[in-house]
């Protein structure tokens, strides 16, 4: 039976390399429509949890996962040997950057090399990891073609970027459109046919480079606009009599030509922080310097340092001595209503403060334990007593679970970087973007 028939009959065996924030939700959606899913992850503990039906991410509940495990619709392994049984393989591995902000595609390279050991004719390989343009064709394709098999002729190769927004209940793996570009027209059509079986909408583009660049554009758009409002917030602080949050609310009343973005202690997550550097690195290969994009990334990365500076300004105004102070941090995740701490600006702020403030504690209902500078912190209950004993409360993540009135009522001093406490005029509340 050819691959097209297997896709339409939903008998194709689907491999997913990397069963994390991207791979696990993808596995669930594919298994729900009937395909047998073979997960692959080198983290043995992760494999063990999945095979027990226990989810470790917010976007997939254990109640949703367990029936698929019990019915053996999803089987997960800690090695690549199972690739030889797969008709389709999705690569969902991390793409971090190095200390010097260069792309690290070693996970893609390693996955490609392992898949190549088991590559067979008529397999469809789809790269989903966010990366710079030409990765699919100039990094992954040559690795796979060392087998002697040729992409587009003997096997099929495409790029379809993940668009996961952790914690988003409206736009999920199923309801968020998928962009796909193959190295040949046949590669694109087979990938489009496959994703159409379990995703509401698929957009086919002319090649992998367009798909790769489209993902970077989405995230760099956010990076640039967040940097803009972060700079405006700092400008409003300098001017001293303009509330940036009020400015944004006024601006967003315009029904066209404007989209609101909000300042904060920095940006986090896997993509928005990293993607500008991926594109800037690739652009230099073509003697193109993306100054605007890199500047926006730098503005956002500087925000945790600005928050620390602002905190010490507040300490100075309120005669609080950092060496003896007790600081209670509200929120550790990189965004509201999730437990994802990847590149969280809250963690960066805590790292910067660890040796400067005597006593630091935190609360985050989604993040029970943190390790900062080799020291382990446990989330403390957010109670009246906890708030009252702190010399200052620093709000870094605005989870919906937080009661702003309760925090305001029981805190002696507050620095709010997320506009959770919307009360203005109180002498004990300081807000990022207003001085």
pLDDT at residue 272, rounded to an integer: 86
Q: Which CATH entry fits the domain spanning 3-206: 3.60.20.10, 3.40.718.10, 3.40.50.720, 3.40.1160.10?
A: 3.40.50.720
362-to-164, 324, 342 alpha-carbon distances in Å = 27, 17, 17
Cα–Cα distance between 258 and 385 in angstroms, integer? 43
Using pLDDT thresholds of 50, 70 and 90, give the confidence band for residue 169: confident
Task: Tell me the pLDDT tens digit for each residue of 176-187.
Answer: 999 999 999 999
Six token digits for residue 1: 């039976």
The pLDDT of residue 424 is above 90: no
Query: E strands, 46-177, where?
Result: 74-77, 88-91, 124-127, 156-159
| Average pLDDT estimate for 145-167 | 96
Rounded mean pLDDT, 364-385: 95
Residue 273's pLDDT band (cuts 50, 70, 90):
confident
Q: Is the pLDDT of residue 411 over 80?
A: yes
At 184 the pLDDT is 98
Of 86, 92, 187, 271, the catalytic one is: 271
Residue 28 · residue 65 · CB < 8 Å:
yes
* For residues 70-80, average pLDDT: 97
Same fold across 3-206 and 222-431: yes
Structure tokens at 429: 């509340």
State how far the Cα of 51 lies from the Cα of 41, in Å rounded to an integer.
12
Average pLDDT over residues 135-151: 98
Q: Residue 371 burial by CB count (10 A; 0-12/13-18/19+): exposed, middle or buried?
A: exposed
3 confidence band (pLDDT: 50, 70, 90): very high
- Averaged pLDDT, 228-238: 96
Position 166 confidence tier, pLDDT thresholds 50, 70, 90 = confident
Beta bridge partners of 88: 14, 124
The residue to which tokens 């010399």 are assigned: 391
Per-domain residue ranges for the chain? 3-206, 222-431
Looking at residue 387, what is its pLDDT? Answer: 97
Residue 35 near residue 71 (C-beta atoms within 8 A): no
pLDDT at 1: 73
Give residue 240's pLDDT.
86
Q: Which residues, in sequence order, are CB contacts of 2 under 8 Å at separation 6+?
A: 122
Q: What number is the average pLDDT over the span 237-247?
A: 93
Let me know: does 97 contact 60? Beta carbons within 8 Å. no
The three-point CA angle 12-17-18 to 5° equals: 135
Mean pLDDT across 279-285:
94
* 190 class by beta-carbon count within 10 Å (0-12 exposed, 13-18 middle, 19+ buried): buried
SS (H, E, C) 74-86: EEEECCCHHHHHC
| For residue 319, pLDDT beyond 80 | yes
Q: Please give the share of the chain, as a percent, with pLDDT higher than 90.
A: 93
Segment 324-339 mean pLDDT: 96
- 136-143 long-range Cβ contacts below 8 angstroms, 24+ apart: 136/183, 136/208, 136/209, 136/212, 137/183, 137/207, 137/208, 137/209, 139/105, 139/108, 139/109, 139/112, 140/91, 140/108, 140/112, 141/183, 143/109, 143/112, 143/113, 143/116
pLDDT tens, residue by residue, 188-231: 999 999 999 999 999 999 999 999 999 999 999 999 999 999 99
How far apart CA 322 and CA 16 sit, in angstroms, is 49
Q: What is the pLDDT of residues 55-66, one digit of tens each?
A: 999 899 999 999
User: For the whole model, what pTM was predicted?
Assistant: 0.93
Coil, strand or helix at 371: strand
Who's near 175: CB < 8 A, 6+ residues apart?
200
d(CA 303, CA 272): 14
Give 293-309 pLDDT, tens digit per residue.
999 999 999 999 999 99
Cα dihedral 79, 84, 87, 91, rounded to 10, equals: 30
**How confident is residue 386, by pLDDT bands cut at 50, 70 and 90?**
very high
The architecture that CATH gives domain 222-431 is: 3-Layer(aba) Sandwich (3.40)
Pick from 240, 239, 260: which is nearest to 251 by CA?
260
Which of 41-45, 153-157, 372-376 has the weakest average pLDDT?
372-376
Average pLDDT, the chain: 96
Measured in whole angstroms, how far is the alpha carbon of residue 184 from the centre of its chain?
A: 30
For the stretch 85-130, pLDDT in tens is 999 999 999 999 888 889 999 999 999 999 999 999 999 999 999 9
Residue 124 near residue 194 (C-beta atoms within 8 A): yes
- How many CB atoms are closer than 10 A to CB 307? 24
The answer to whether residue 271 is catalytic is: yes
């Amino acid at each position: 039976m050819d691959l097209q028939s297997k896709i339409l009959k939903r008998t194709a065996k689907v491999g997913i390399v990397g069963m994390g924030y991207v791979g696990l939700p993808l596995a669930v959606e594919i298994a729900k429509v009937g395909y047998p899913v073979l997960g692959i992850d080198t983290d043995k503990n992760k494999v063990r949890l999945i095979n027990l039906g226990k989810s470790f991410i917010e976007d997939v509940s254990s109640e949703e996962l367990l029936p698929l495990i019990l019915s053996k619709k999803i089987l997960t392994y800690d090695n690549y040997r199972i690739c030889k049984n797969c008709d389709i393989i999705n690569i969902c591995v991390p793409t971090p950057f190095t200390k010097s902000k260069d792309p690290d595609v070693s996970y893609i390279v390693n996955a490609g090399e392992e898949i190549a050991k088991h590559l067979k004719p008529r397999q469809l390989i789809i790269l989903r990891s966010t990366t710079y343009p030409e990765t699919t064709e100039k990094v992954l394709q040559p690795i796979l073609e060392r087998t002697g098999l040729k992409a587009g002729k003997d096997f099929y190769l495409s790029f379809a970027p993940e668009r996961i927004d952790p914690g988003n209940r409206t736009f999920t793996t199923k309801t968020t459109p998928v962009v796909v570009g193959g190295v040949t027209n046949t590669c694109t059509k087979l990938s489009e046919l496959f994703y159409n079986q379990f995703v509401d909408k698929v957009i086919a583009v002319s090649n992998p480079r367009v798909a790769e660049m489209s993902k970077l554009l989405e995230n760099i758009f956010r990076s640039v606009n967040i940097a803009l409002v972060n700079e405006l917030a700092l400008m409003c602080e300098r001017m001293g009599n303009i509330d940036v949050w009020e400015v944004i609310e006024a601006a967003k009343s315009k029904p066209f030509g404007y989209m609101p973005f909000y300042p904060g202690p920095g940006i986090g997550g896997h993509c928005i922080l990293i993607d500008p550097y991926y594109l800037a690195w690739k652009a230099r290969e073509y003697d193109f310097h993306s100054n605007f994009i890199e500047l926006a990334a730098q503005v956002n990365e500087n925000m945790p340092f600005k928050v620390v500076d602002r905190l010490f300004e507040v300490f100075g105004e309120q005669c609080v001595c950092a060496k003896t102070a007790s600081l209670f941090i509200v929120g550790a995740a990189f965004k509201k209503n999730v437990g994802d701490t990847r590149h969280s600006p809250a963690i960066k702020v805590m790292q910067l403060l660890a040796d400067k403030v005597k006593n630091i504690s935190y609360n985050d209902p989604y993040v029970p334990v943190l390790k900062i500078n080799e020291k382990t912190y446990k989330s403390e209950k957010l109670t009246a007593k906890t708030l009252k004993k702190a010399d200052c409360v620093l709000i870094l993540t605005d989870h919906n679970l937080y009661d702003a009135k309760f925090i305001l009522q029981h805190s002696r001093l507050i620095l709010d970087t997320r506009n959770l406490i919307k009360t203005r005029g109180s002498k004990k509340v300081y807000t990022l973007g207003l001085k």
